[in-house]
Structure 1
Amino acid sequence: MSTRQRPLSPHLQVYRPQITSVLSISHRISGIVNALVALGLAGLLMSVAAGPEAYAQFAAIAGSLPARIALFVFTLSICYHLFNGIRHLFWDAGRGFEMSTVYASGYTVIALALLTTIGIWGVVLGGPA
């Protein structure tokens, strides 16, 4: 029996990225990042349980510039995943499937995630509450 080469369906190399595909992929990536955040929270709790020295070491690492950048990205990931999840709940209810609404809600999710993250970090860094 000979095997025929079947045509491959178009993939990412063929299609130009659109907001719908970018947000879909970003939602999956943010879910993975959020799982990593949960591991970091577990590390925080373990350092608290291990005593003041372990917590001081964890706090020193978390206060470094690379860790603060990672925490900012984690905060953005959590906010994005939350707002895009709410968007998906509307879709589950059968609402918001018109293309204009899909694009508007997509841009709204991005804006809300950025504004909320910046607001949270404004409070964390001692800005106006």
Structure 2
Amino acid sequence: MEHEQRRPRFFNLMQIQMPVGALTSIGHRVSGIILALCVPFYIYVLQLSLQSPRGYALAAGILGRLPVKALVAASIWALAHHVLAGIRHLLSDVDIGSPLPAARTSAWAVNCAGLVILLLAAGALL
């Protein structure tokens, strides 16, 4: 009976404080999904741009729209984060950066570098 009284009554995801490595791992998965979902669009735009001069102009017009520019910036972040987190993971597989302080530092580096690359891309695109 005493055990039942100490159990939480709700599970608030906003109160959970995840370690930086967990956030990097989640970002790695999200970035992979974004990349996979964007591939058909990019293949379509590439195919369109290679069809003819008119197709190229149409593709340039599509890529010039603000929502598409935002998608491209998100894709650039996804690619940067996915590659950096993947390299971090591969290095940890061979015991480089595996101790906790080094793992935290590399996770922060991946997250910050991804944000810097996103800001540079957004500045160049928008």
Normalising by structure 1, we get a TM-score of 0.74
Aligned to 2:92: 91
- Deviation string 1:78-126 (CA, Å, 9 cap, x unpaired) is 111111111011111122221111110011011222223434555567x
Aligned to 2:5: none
Deviation, structure 1 residue 55: 2.3
Alignment length (residue pairs): 115
Decide whether aligned partners of structure 1 residues 115 and 95 sit closer, same or farther in structure 2, where only a CA change above 3 A counts.
same
2: distance between equivalents of 1:15 and 1:121? 30
Between 1 and 2, higher relative CO (CA 8 Å, sep ≥ 6) is seen in 2
Write out aligned runs for 1:32-71 (5 A): 32-71=33-72
**Aligned-pair RMSD on alpha carbons?**
2.5
1: distance between equivalents of 2:111 and 2:57? 35
2: distance between equivalents of 1:119 and 1:32? 22
Unpaired segments ≥5 residues, structure 2: 1-10
Decide whether aligned partners of structure 1 residues 12 and 33 sit closer, same or farther in structure 2, where only a CA change above 3 A counts.
farther
Structure 1 consecutive aligned stretches of length 4 or more whose deviation exceeds 6 Å: none
Deviation, structure 1 residue 53: 1.9
Aligned to 1:101: 102
Aligned to 1:16: 17
2: distance between equivalents of 1:22 and 1:118? 19
1: distance between equivalents of 2:12 and 2:92? 24
Deviation, structure 1 residue 68: 0.8
